[in-house]
Structures are given as C-alpha cells and as structure tokens.
Amino acid sequence: MSDHTSTSAPRPVRLALSSGEIFEGFGFGFVNTDEPISGEVVFNTAMSGYQESLTDPSYKGQILVQTSTMVGNTGMNDTDTESTEIQVRGFVVHEHVDAHSNYRAIASLHQRLHEAGVPGICDIDTRALTRVLRSRGVTVGVMSADGSLPDAALVEHARQAPSMQGADFASGSGVDEQTPWAEGSHEWAHTTPGSDQRVKVGVIDCGSKSNILRSLVDAGADPVLLPMGTNADVIKDMLLDGRISGVMLSNGAGDPSTLNALVSTVRSLIDDPELERFPIYGICLGHQIIAQAIGARTFKLKFGHRGINHPIRDEQGARVLITSQNHGFAVDPDSVDQARIEITHTHLNDETVGGLRIRGREVACVQFHPEASPGPHDADPFFTRFVSVCGSARAGAGV
C-alpha cells in the first residue's frame, strides 16, 4: 500500500469508466466529500514532470493517469508550475509517495491536491487501466469515495457525464485583460533581458503554459498576454503601431472545433494584406486554431498524445525531433490544401500532422510543445525562429 503520513486510514475510492470497467484503490489529496467527480480519463507516459502536468491548463476537465510507477517522490514546489493552480479534475497513480525528498519541495503531492480540492486515487493497476484506454479509446470516468453507491450506478454516472468532444474549456482559462509577462526560465537563455534586440509579441491566451512564456522571454521576446476574445481590429492596431511585432497562439483545453470566434479572428489577421509581414505562430491548440483558420479540419484522436518521447519528423530539416506532447485532437491531413499549405512536421507513431505553415508566409504552427517542460529540448529553435522573424517585422516597420 502507498505511503501515507496521515494517521487516518486510507479511504477506499473507485474509478468507474463509462465502458463498464471498475478500478478500486485508496484516496489521497481531497477525499473529504462523497460527491463523485467526472472527467475524460487520459494517460501520460512521462517518467517525470507530474507537477507540470497537474498544473498544465490543457488538462482542464480531465482525470489524469500517470503511467510512471511511483509518483510523489519529489513533492511539490513553486517553480515547476505551468499555471497558478492545479488544473486536472482527478489524479490516478499506481504508487503514491507522501514522504517526499527534494531540496526544492515545500509541500507534498497529497497536501497540494487537498488544498486544491482535487481527489487522487492510488494502489490501482495503472498499466491495466492504460491498456483499456489504448484499446477502447479515452473515455469518461467517475471517481467516488462513496461506498454505498453500487458499481452499476457509478458506471451510469460516467455514461451521463459530458464528453470532451464538443466541450469548450479554453474560454475563460486565460487572462481577462492585457497582461505583460517578464519572467524567463533563467536557463537556456539566448539573449540578455533589457537588450535593445528584444521584441514585443502578443500571446493570445487560451490557457497558456507558463513555460511557453518563459521560453519566449529566453529567446528575446517581451510577451503580452491577450484575452482569447480580443478583437482582430485591436490586434491589428497593436501590430501596425509597433506595440507588438508578432502573434503567438497558446495551448489550451477542450475541442478546438468549438472556438469559432477565435478561428474567425485568426482568419482575419491572416487574410489582411496589411499584416502580411507579421508572423503568426501557434502551439498545440494554437496549431489547431490556425489550421481551421486556413481551411483545415480537426478530429478527435482515439487516445491522444501525452508524454515526452514522441518522435516528430521535421520535413524541412530531414531530421527527427523527440518532443513533449499533450493533446487529444489533431488536424485532418486530407483537409489540408497542400497547394497553399505545407505540412512541416509529421508524427512518426501514427503519421498525424505535427506542424503546418503557409507557403511564402510566416504563419506556422506545431502540434507538439517546443518548450518541453518536462522533456527534451530538440524543438527549441521554434521560439528563436519566431522571435527572429518578429525582429525582422519590427525592423521592416521602422519601429
């Protein structure tokens, strides 16, 4: 049984899938209520970085399964965070370690989940659960500590819960007003803060990971977060008067096909001849938004890509990148107008679209996470390329 420092006995908790499977374990984190919680159950294969995953806004509305055998060893700190709060709806692990050991830790995993009101379940066979999700596809699940509820009732509860398909979790996940960002990672930095070569960029915030913003700062940019609902005319004015020299669309949660207003905004920016010299880049959900804005479609993957060792073929550089990924939707390659659009990257596991660009334009996007926190830094040049092109756009405007 997992290591709990609490003097009270671990409380039995069940995870029921809408496909009918029941997994029984013990609760940690927030288990003081009998109210069941539901969400799409997804798995991440990374062997490290559970704190980044827990705080990644792209996991909003989901129950996260960590396939790494033992979780909680390093506790929780205030550095390895992707947002200001825990985003997952529930957390599933095989072995939970509450007696953490790390010089940066200021709290245990159990403490932080408890404070956030997020339930965890441990001592279940996460390998068997992952096999179910891989074979059946990600499915809705329910977590409950109420022992009086029959298994059949929990399964029915899961079947009645809303699906991620058609769900908009991005709206409301970002900032409400324009917000400057100045924090870098203090590592891997390519330029000096305060340098005259720095450029201002606008980041349309759909639930951005903090390390995307830190990576932009490291590469020489001064980002300003823009609310997701910012009007295209407002962004155009910011570009033309030099307040920003490029636009980045962030990652985010939910079904990209629901974000019609944002797609329309991005389409207006791309199609405006006055803005042709300004770069528009996107990451993950931002990639899917740009793809829709240029006429492509998205679809839901069977079980998604979530981990830090996904191989991506760079079609332009004739090399393979090992990347960090977290998404459940992808771009339909048959919907891409390849006379206008170039597929720049391909996922080697399933040949899905990993990146796109408009031919002859600096409108480009990638499905993976080049900031890779955690993960390999093979894709770091994505940020330096974006900042370099922003600098050229600024120089061309005489700003």
Question: 320 near 386, Cβ under 8 Å?
Answer: no
Q: Nearest CA to 399 among 193, 182, 197? A: 197
DSSP 8-state assignment for residue 59: G
User: In the sheet that 319-331 helps form, which strands lie side by side, from edge to edge?
Assistant: 179-180, 221-227, 199-205, 247-249, 280-283, 363-366, 353-358, 341-347, 298-314, 319-331
The sign of the dihedral angle between the CA atoms of 349, 351, 353, 359 is positive
Give CA–CA dist 125/134, Å, rounded.
14
Give CA–CA dist 230/178, Å, rounded.
9
- Catalytic-residue membership of 94: no
Task: Look at strands 319-331 and 280-283 and give their pairing.
Answer: unpaired
Torsion of Cα atoms, 80 then 82 then 84 then 90, to 10°: -100
- Catalytic-residue membership of 21: no
- Catalytic-residue membership of 390: no
Give CA–CA dist 66/252, Å, rounded.
20
Which position among 122, 284, 365, 390 bears the catalytic label?
284
Give CA–CA dist 155/20, Å, rounded.
6
Give CA–CA dist 32/6, Å, rounded.
13
177: Cα separation from own chain's centroid? 21
Q: Nearest CA to 28 among 121, 92, 167? A: 121
Catalytic site positions: 284, 369, 371
